[in-house]
Amino acid sequence: MITKKRLMAVAALTATTAIPTFAAADEGVIRIGALYPTSGPCQMIGDFALQGTQMLVDEVNAAGGVNGQMLEVVHRDSRCDPAEATAMARDLIAREDVDFLVGGVSSSVGQAISAVSRTEEVIYIASIPKTVQMTTPENLHPYVFRSAANTNTEGGSAAVLADRLGLDRICTILMDYSYGHSLNEAFTSTLAEIRPDAEIVVQEWPQNGTTDYTAHITNIMAAGCDGVFSGVWAGLFPAFASQAGPFGFFDQVTYITAGEVGSPELAEQMGADMPEGIWANSYEVFYYPDTPAHNDFVADLQEELGVEHTPSWPVTGYVALQWLVEAMELAGSAETDAVIAALEGLSIETPIGTQTMRASDHQANRGQFWGQMHMSDDDAYPYPVMDPVEYIPADELMD
Amino acid sequence: MITQRNMILLGIAFVALALVPAVSGLFLVYLVTEIMIFALFALSFNLLLGYGGLISFGHAAYFAIGAYACAVLLTTLGWPFLFGFGAAILLSAVSAAVIGYFCVKLTEIYFSMLTLAFAQLVWAIAFKWVAVTNGDTGFTGVAVPGWMDEPVRFFYFTLIVLAVCAYMLWRIVNSAYGMTLVATRENYNRAEFIGVNVRRIQLVAFVLAGTFAGVAGALFTLFNHAVFVENAWWTQSAEVMIMSILGGVGSFVGPAVGAAILLILDRSLAEITVYWPTVLGIILLAVLFFFPEGLMGVAKKAGRKGK
């Protein structure tokens, strides 16, 4: 039965939610809604990306803001969960009155935020989600842009490497979810184009969430391939490497892996456990390229984080917001349609070089840094580094 | 109980909810819409847990079936809204009937484990059948009909659906059937002795609960313009159980109140601390230890003391 007291309790509850902390709609401030996971399994990536975002905001504000307006970041924890990210994106728009959305880590969260940005007509810059589906014609809409690399670029870059390394019998080991399948499509189609004689011998699909790769490792070793393309990404790689290492796996095959295994934070975490000579990628590495813009960025980041050797993820948050800042400056306003028009075809100077946002599908030509992992010669940094290291551009590989 | 007073109180609650868009901003419209969807989900679940004493670990399955069916029928197949929405609910009911047929053959923990197993099967299908569900990338861009594609209108649509469903559920639990269901919960053997076909009673509860969960799922799809495999994952089943226990399974409105509290806590805690799961866990521990009948149980006791 519903008693008066119960009803009072419900009323009290309603009252507490009816007093939301409505953001003071300050005309002079541009509010950026950041959706990064700061708890749960993607926390590390989210924390770093958020720090990168904040660093750019501080820089811009110190220099007088954008068109005279200050930037302000409002963060909500997207928790690596699309339903949560949807609610939080709405929350940012409806309650915090943000002008733009940035962020996301996993593909499904990217899709979820994109869905909100479409219905709410708020620009969203996807800084990390890679799935090509976000920018394919059936899902593309005027409000979504991606500063991250996509799975086509990542898988295609690996195929370019496989071609260069002269690999003809290739096995793949990719996680059995959309990221793995998208990488596979990109890798095999690019390989068929640039190295038609190469053969895909065996394809292994470990279940997402598995911790035992033994069967997959032995299958690949028995298949007699000379190269392996892997999508065992950074979070899973240490467990995989510790199981594959004792079999002599990494000595037998040339291992090319997507999923940011070459990032300095993973290299430091793994130390000597990082297999020598594997080919891996990263969004950024503090030791390359040796350009003034990149060195300045690293120096600022060192100061911001108080560490000597900076992690790779802050650049994703930094560049995502940089797109918005430069587009607003070009447009001379923070008005949505003007910023969309400015973003389409825009080229900007990022800490890692020039980037261009394609007008056709709102995808930046973001490539990644690839290289062969070797223990560093530098005594001050006794961890594996990419050597040689290069930036594989995305221009030929995005589609 | 269906008394005039309760009818009036529910009517007042309905009117109070109906006034929300008029007196508040968009934020509260969104939040209350979400709360209403999960309130319906929790009310459907409580038919099993509270009234039937059936602990289902897989109630998310029917929510997800309703959600995915609604998305696919409206978007991929382009069905008109009423047919698509209706068929999605029907599909949840049919799935619940098929799965329930097997589950009610078992009791207690075996029943629970089987519901979990079937729910994970539903999840696996949603995850693997990429051509239809778009796998773990999520089904986005749902073709929501234009007339409801506006926050306030959708709010009222949800409110009306919730009111109709809640009323139906209320009539069900207060009917002769509802009393029989409670009798099977209280004493399985005794109910059988007096000639009740316990399995059939439980199966009907299972199908009804699945159907209303499907309604909630379809609403969820329309609300978000998207559906994700996470909606079928076991944590979603756990969440609806937490909502019910938090609010109180012994009361009809308890689970709905639990849904509201959990969502509000979830949103407000996330703003205050990144350790929200810990805080939420402590609150749940406290409820389980000190208020096992949930918050509505506490209110009920307080009400009795007051008299």
What is this structure's pTM? 0.86
Tens digit of pLDDT for each residue in B147-175? 888 889 999 999 999 999 999 999 999 99
Tens digit of pLDDT for each residue in B32-52? 999 999 999 999 999 999 999
Say yes or no to pLDDT of B290 above 60: yes
Chain A, chain B: beta-carbon pairs less than 8 Å apart: 133
Contacts of B16 in chain A (CB under 8 A): 11, 14
The domain limits of chain A are: 29-149+299-356, 152-282+368-392
Tens digit of pLDDT for each residue in A269-324? 999 999 999 999 999 999 999 999 999 999 999 999 999 899 999 999 999 999 99
Q: Which residue of A has its CA nearest to B2?
A: A1
CB contact under 8 A, A111 and B138: yes
Of A38, A81, A94, the CB nearest to B30: A94
Tens digit of pLDDT for each residue in A147-180? 999 999 999 999 999 999 999 999 999 999 888 9
Say yes or no to pLDDT of A17 above 60: no
The contacts found for A196-203 with CB under 8 angstroms, 24 or more apart, are A197/A168, A198/A162, A198/A163, A198/A167, A198/A168, A198/A169, A198/A170, A199/A168, A199/A169, A199/A170, A200/A170, A200/A171, A200/A172, A201/A169, A201/A170, A201/A171, A201/A225, A202/A171, A202/A172, A203/A171, A203/A172, A203/A173, A203/A174
Question: What is the predicted pLDDT for the residue at A282?
Answer: 95
A355-359 average pLDDT score? 95
Q: How confident is the model at residue B306 (pLDDT cuts 50, 70, 90)?
A: low
Of A5, A16, A138, the CB nearest to B303: A5
Question: What is the predicted pLDDT for the residue at B304?
Answer: 72
Question: What is the predicted pLDDT for the residue at B108?
Answer: 84
Question: What is the predicted pLDDT for the residue at B301?
Answer: 77
Q: Are A227 and A162 in contact (CB under 8 A)?
A: yes
Rounded-to-integer distance, Cα A152 and Cα A132, Å: 7
Question: What is the predicted pLDDT for the residue at A185?
Answer: 94
- In the stretch 13-42 of chain B, residues with CB closer than 8 A to chain A read 13, 16, 23-31, 34
Contacts of B10 in chain A (CB under 8 A): 2
Say yes or no to pLDDT of A5 above 80: no
Fold for the domain defined by A29-149+299-356: Rossmann fold (3.40.50)
Question: What is the predicted pLDDT for the residue at B136?
Answer: 86
A143 vs B298 pLDDT, higher one: A143
Of A39, A90, A93, the CB nearest to B274: A39
B57-75 average pLDDT score? 95
β-partners of residue A353 are: A350
Contacts of A95 in chain B (CB under 8 A): 25-27
* Bridge-based pairing state of the strands A169-173 and A123-126: unpaired
Percentage of the residues of chain A whose pLDDT score is greater than 70: 93
B201 vs B268 pLDDT, higher one: B201
Contacts of B275 in chain A (CB under 8 A): 39
CB contact under 8 A, A90 and B264: no
**CATH classification (class only), A152-282+368-392:** alpha beta
Tens digit of pLDDT for each residue in B198-218? 999 999 999 999 999 999 999
Q: Are B67 and B192 in contact (CB under 8 A)?
A: no
Q: Are B263 and B145 in contact (CB under 8 A)?
A: no
DSSP state of A379: T
Say yes or no to pLDDT of A327 above 90: yes
Rounded-to-integer distance, Cα A349 and Cα B93, Å: 56
Q: Identical fold at A29-149+299-356 and A152-282+368-392?
A: yes
Percentage of the residues of chain A whose pLDDT score is greater than 90: 78
